[in-house]
Structure 1
Amino acid sequence: MVIRSRRVFLPDGERPADVLVRDGRIERIAAHGSVTGPGSVTGSVTGSVADPGRPVTDLGDVTLLPGLVDTHVHVNEPGRTEWEGFATATRAAAAGGVTTVVDMPLNSVPPTTTLAGLEVKRKTAEGQAWVDLGFWGGAVPGNLADLEPLHRAGVFGFKSFLAPSGVDEFPHLEPADLEAALAEQARLGALAIIHAEDPAVLAAAPQQPGVHYRDFLASRPDGAETAAVVRLLDAARRTGARVHVLHVSSAAVLPLLRQARADGVEVTAETCPHYLTLAAEYVPDGDTAFKCCPPIRDEANREALWEALAAGEFAAVVSDHSPSTPDLKLLPGRGGSGDFAAAWGGIASLQLGLPAVWTEARRRGHTLADLVGWMSAGPARLVGLDGRKGAIAPGHDADLVAFDPDGEFAVHPAELHHRNPVTPYAGRTLTGVVRTTWLRGRVVDVTGEPFGVQLTRP
């Protein structure tokens, strides 16, 4: 097949092009219009300088982007499938232009902290994925001997918490456990991905339950992130481990990361759409759809994150899609108390990350090429899939997205594909509409049969 657009986003820039696909991979990039076909609709090719007989899809001025790679998704199946499952999560991903998802190791039962737990995950996911799917392992107290078997089985790295995770089956690492886990991961050459909040700072912060977001924000101060990052970086210096700081919400950690990189520490970081698009000042009382940990902070902090993103200080922008059932969010409109302290913390946004970030990015003068770097090429590079995913380039999987950057739509939670209709973007008008998603050259039809495959670390 051939997909044509006047706006194709290639690694060397945007230009008109024909993208030739064979056997699920991008065969080559040809000049725009070099494959002749019946106009701007899909049909049989009557003649071509490249390969007669190929069907052509002409997108006109609709942009063609590489499929997004989201390396931070909580699927929760098995065990908490009522929160989110593989079928619903990957349908939401495909509808949002995400063609590769890497699943987090917690919130499912069993967690992915042993080889047996990984096999349960893989078996459960078989035949349920509308996009390609990989898995993180988990490093928790007592599973040091499990890390090498998981690494050999192809997990993309190991997640750890420095503060309680919220689920009993995935405990956090105390300082001695962190040191041992990082030393083992350095020996294996594995990537350590870390939820960095400090439990002592959290314990000392004011804990005021209730419906006011400002009280919840005070309970998770910037200092919890900075103290944890300082501890993590010290351990990384001693062990030589490669570390990645998950979901940075506080701009206060950025100088610490800059200095560590200047000192030769192998450290990267990510941030998330909700930290770039939402602000504490505008969270309504009791609207616990906005609760996540670490929290959404104020406007000034949000702008500092954008400055860091523009300066190349983040390796990726990924969703941290972490939904739950509506009753656990305690939403007042559903009979809940609206108590931020007691509600489950997690943002559901897998389907909306691309338009949410684009809505804010274009307002700041950023381009779709920037977006591709943050949400496709960057996360693919982070997990070592950049030879196969994250770019429209010969030899790569033909994971592609037809994206209308000028289209607008209002967010209606009931129309989203993730399992439970809760999102902080409800009622917002976002810019940018996903028209079609291709996975390895095939159009993804979320009402049809799934054909995603399971990925392992290259």
Structure 2
Amino acid sequence: MRYDMIVTGGDVVLPDGVRKLDIGIRGGKIAAIEARIAPEESAEVFHADGKTVLPGMIDVHVHFNEPNLGHWEGFESGSAALAAGGCTAYLDMPLNGNPPTVSVEAFRQKAELAAGRSTIDYGFWGGLVPGNLEQLERLARAGAAAFKAFLSDPGGEGEGRFRQVDDWTLYQGMKRIAAFGGLLALHAESDALTAGLAAEARIAGCTDARGFAASRPVVAETEAVAKALLYARDTGCRLHLVHISSADAVEMIAEAKLKGVDVTLETCPHYLMLTEDDMERIGPAAKCAPPLRSADQRERLWRLLAEGHLDMVASDHSPSPPELKRTGPDRTFFDAWGGISGAQSSLELLLHEGVLTRKLPLSRLADLIAGAPARRFGLQGAKGSIAVGLDADLAVVDLNRSYVLEKEHLFYRHPVSPYIGMTLNARVAATICRGRTVYTSEAGITAPGGGEPLMPVSLSLTPGLAT
């Protein structure tokens, strides 16, 4: 058999363990996994000796701000950063662009902007907002991988901005999404609690990082999670809870799973790496919602992750121009943009802290970043693991290479990150997307613009509905 590429000599992470194997690639797919493939059988040989080969990360939660806010982060810069971080596919969120992706027309506009501009493969979320119930099935037919809704105010400006759902819209939306086999994701924070506590904090002058954290307590998350689980159980809607920040919420979700609720959850690297003490020290670059939690919550999250109660990890990459992160006499911590730029660092952080420090098995990590995302979002027939017949999506990492993350390493449009200055004890050496080497640590991005749209296959749509 003749191959387009052989990845040889690496320690390959498979679902059942790690073994030194060669990977033969042909037509963008994995065609063979063998103890040894002769170099002369391939047009190109990628030497991975001394390195670890993981399935490429699938980041299911990024905000690339297209259309019309690409100067915050667009498909070129955002996908380049992901590629440099060992990602081979992503799902872009429906908000922080204008218009938000809550209609088929907006969905198509975003798809047109992404075509030919993304380094790696990509897909899009649709949104559930008041007034767009009739759009949901049409969005699913257009290719929306899932739907996003907010139980708290997502912020933003303008008449067409993404809006939080009221209870009626949430309940009716979940019934409709359940009818066609879709998946709803929720930002789970109680708006009544966070809005009231924020108003009290401003009146009292408690508007620093500690005041912000206190205004969005764990109970605001668990109250919203409880409502979401109740509605999911009643409607039969498949549910995904995004950026869960507290161990309390993870435990609630684990209990719901035992009772038969079809629910998954993600957490983010910043909740596993940082605490509210770090948010105070670093400043607005570490501001997000839900906020960073206590060291005790962080340690409990790691324990629950090791026990198998966390399904996946996603970045929730939410960038902005640096001036929106500014504080000063006229701008408090509450006024600064609430989002963390972290997409490029997710895999390296998990390797550094999870694998090298906490001894998390590499196969468990691979499922968190690739296997579980592929299964939940309908990509398991093409992506998610290193297996014959799947896309040749690989992250080649060096677990013996330490470096200090500097601004110069970042591919974001704006080099803002709470991890700048951190020493990481693992580094992505190369990223291969469908058999194309799209990034190396020596050359940077080597094949921009070749990413293809993802085609989720988990929906059971009513035939004949026009898009």
Q: Which of 348, 352, 366 is the matching residue for 1:355?
A: 348
Confirm or deny that 1:121 pairs with 2:110. Answer: yes
2:220 is matched with 224
Checking the alignment, whether the CA contact within 8 Å between 2:7 and 2:48 is kept in structure 1 is yes
Instruction: Provide the aligned C-alpha RMSD in A.
Output: 1.6
Checking the alignment, whether the CA contact within 8 Å between 2:279 and 2:292 is kept in structure 1 is no
2:174 is matched with 182
Counterpart Cα distance in 1 of 2:448 and 2:166:
44
Counterpart Cα distance in 2 of 1:413 and 1:385:
33
Give the CA deviation at 1:232. 0.8
Counterparts of residues 137-216 of structure 1 (less than 5 Å): 137-168=126-157, 169-205=161-197, 206-208=200-202, 212-216=208-212
Report the secondary structure of 1:224's partner residue: helix
Q: Which of 86, 89, 105 is the matching residue for 2:78?
A: 89
Counterpart Cα distance in 1 of 2:208 and 2:174:
38
Task: State the one-letter code of the partner of 2:57.
Answer: L
Confirm or deny that 1:20 pairs with 2:24. Answer: yes
Counterpart Cα distance in 2 of 1:283 and 1:121:
33
Give the CA deviation at 1:387. 1.9
- Pick closer, same or farther for the CA change 1:448–1:439 going to 2, 3 Å: closer
Confirm or deny that 1:413 pairs with 2:407. Answer: yes
Checking the alignment, whether the CA contact within 8 Å between 2:54 and 2:386 is kept in structure 1 is yes
Counterparts of residues 261-272 of structure 1 (less than 5 Å): 261-272=257-268
Report the secondary structure of 2:334's partner residue: coil
Give the CA deviation at 1:413. 2.1
Counterpart Cα distance in 2 of 1:402 and 1:250:
31
Structure 2 length normalisation: TM-score? 0.91
Confirm or deny that 1:367 pairs with 2:367. Answer: no
Confirm or deny that 1:384 pairs with 2:378. Answer: yes
Q: Which of 305, 310, 329 is the matching residue for 2:301?
A: 305
Report the secondary structure of 1:444's partner residue: strand
Checking the alignment, whether the CA contact within 8 Å between 2:29 and 2:391 is kept in structure 1 is yes
Give the CA deviation at 1:174. 1.0
Report the secondary structure of 1:293's partner residue: coil
- Pick closer, same or farther for the CA change 1:331–1:411 going to 2, 3 Å: farther
Give the CA deviation at 1:4. 1.2
Checking the alignment, whether the CA contact within 8 Å between 2:62 and 2:91 is kept in structure 1 is yes
Report the secondary structure of 1:284's partner residue: helix
2:11 is matched with 7
Question: Structure 1, residues 145-201: CA drift from partner, whole Å, max 9, x if none?
Answer: 000100111211100000101124111011111111101111111000000001111
- Pick closer, same or farther for the CA change 1:6–1:82 going to 2, 3 Å: closer
Checking the alignment, whether the CA contact within 8 Å between 1:330 and 1:337 is kept in structure 2 is no
Counterpart Cα distance in 2 of 1:286 and 1:101:
28
1:40 is matched with none
1:247 is matched with 243
Task: State the one-letter code of the partner of 1:452.
Answer: G
Q: Which of 253, 264, 282 is the matching residue for 1:257?
A: 253
Report the secondary structure of 2:347's partner residue: helix
2:464 is matched with none
Counterpart Cα distance in 1 of 2:232 and 2:419:
37
Report the secondary structure of 1:35's partner residue: coil
Unmatched 5+ stretches in structure 2: 440-444, 458-467
Counterpart Cα distance in 1 of 2:254 and 2:430:
39
Question: Structure 1, residues 261-292: CA drift from partner, whole Å, max 9, x if none?
Answer: 12211111110000000111233357100100
- Pick closer, same or farther for the CA change 1:26–1:53 going to 2, 3 Å: closer
Counterpart Cα distance in 1 of 2:361 and 2:401:
15
Checking the alignment, whether the CA contact within 8 Å between 1:212 and 1:286 is kept in structure 2 is no
Give the CA deviation at 1:374. 1.0
Unmatched 5+ stretches in structure 1: 38-44, 46-51
Counterpart Cα distance in 2 of 1:284 and 1:174:
33
Give the CA deviation at 1:294. 0.4
Question: Structure 1, residues 241-272: CA drift from partner, whole Å, max 9, x if none?
Answer: 11111000011112321221122111111100
Counterparts of residues 317-356 of structure 1 (less than 5 Å): 317-330=313-326, 339-356=332-349
Give the CA deviation at 1:331. 5.1
Counterpart Cα distance in 2 of 1:373 and 1:338:
41
Counterpart Cα distance in 2 of 1:348 and 1:237:
34
Report the secondary structure of 2:399's partner residue: strand
Range moving further from structure 2, 181-190 or 206-215? 206-215
Percent identical pairs in the alignment equals 41
- Pick closer, same or farther for the CA change 1:27–1:345 going to 2, 3 Å: same
Q: Which of 66, 70, 79 is the matching residue for 2:59?
A: 70
Task: State the one-letter code of the partner of 2:450.
Answer: F
Moved over 6 A (4+): none
- Pick closer, same or farther for the CA change 1:172–1:18 going to 2, 3 Å: same
The count of corresponding residues between Structure 1 and Structure 2 is 440
Report the secondary structure of 2:335's partner residue: coil
Give the CA deviation at 1:233. 1.1
Counterpart Cα distance in 1 of 2:101 and 2:64:
12
Counterpart Cα distance in 2 of 1:387 and 1:73:
22
Checking the alignment, whether the CA contact within 8 Å between 2:16 and 2:363 is kept in structure 1 is no
